[in-house]
Amino acid sequence: MADVSSLVSEGQNSHIVVCTHCESRVLSPQSATLLKKSYPLPMPTQPKNQLSTLTEDLSEWWVVDDMFTFDNIGFSHSVGSTKYLVCADCERGPVGWHDNNTRKSYVALTRVKHA
């Protein structure tokens, strides 16, 4: 597990969270809470002719309680009770997922940049 202590202050993000591709600002400092929990997220690129979605298990997330907390975020189509989060500007991702039931959003630390 990567050492994320430099990114966390009092359990929250100490840095600006931006898109790894276009540096669009996703979250302001101190707006999300760190959660360590293994959860699968689809790979950013999927091989052609793949019938099922390839995922990887990621273990560190910024939890955002209210989607209006985001500076910028895009949503993909719903898959069951889940929507995937993508960059609002370049639409790359997924950078995380949104639970339609709890209304909480989870941004993968490894899918974003900390500026």
22 binds Zn ion (CB under 5 A): yes
Please, which residue, 13 or 74, has the CB nearer to Zn ion?
74
Bridge partners for 42 per DSSP = 55
Q: Which of 4, 16, 21, 82 binds Zn ion (CB under 5 A)?
A: 21
CB 12 to Zn ion: min, Å: 23
7 binds Zn ion (CB under 5 A): no
8 binds Zn ion (CB under 5 A): no
Phi-psi category of 88—alpha, beta or left, where left has phi over 0 and alpha has psi -120 to 50? alpha
Q: Which of 17, 18, 19, 85 binds Zn ion (CB under 5 A)?
A: 19
Binding site for Zn ion (CB under 5 A): 19, 21-22, 24, 87, 89-90
